[in-house]
Amino acid sequence: MFGLRKLIKDGEETPEVFKDEVFGRSSHWEMSTSQLSSNYLDGWGYGEVVSDGYGLSYAIHDNNIRWCITTKNNDAEKFATALTQAADDIKAMMDRAKAAGGAAEAKAKL
């Protein structure tokens, strides 16, 4: 859709789909994420893509997950606290499943 929108020339009528409120909201990314897991990188980050959004880079390793949160107009510390709590909750759930001999012991297929 982005490519089609960029093809509209100055003076051409904008198709209705690009004027739709839902289309506008779908182009406003409050959360921009990407992961880059490497043993050779110590840290990295990037900014949010909208003024009221967050940038979230993360790296998944064998024994930890690291992330970098950026934002201009929001509370990064509050977001980090919520993200940490969510990660802790998931770890606890996986630990319980593993202790019970559940699916958590299965190896990832990817």
Chunked into runs of 10 residues, the chain (110 residues) has average pLDDT values of 89 92 89 88 85 93 89 95 96 90 60
**Pairwise CA distance, residues 66 & 82, whole Å:** 14
Question: How much is the pLDDT for 103?
Answer: 58
- Residue pair 71/48 in contact (Cβ under 8 Å)? The answer is yes
**Pairwise CA distance, residues 47 & 29, whole Å:** 12
Question: How much is the pLDDT for 61?
Answer: 87
- Residue pair 66/58 in contact (Cβ under 8 Å)? The answer is yes
Please report the beta strands in 1-110, taking only residues with DSSP state E, as ranges in sequence order.
31-35, 54-60, 65-70
- Residue pair 94/106 in contact (Cβ under 8 Å)? The answer is no
- Residue pair 90/80 in contact (Cβ under 8 Å)? The answer is no
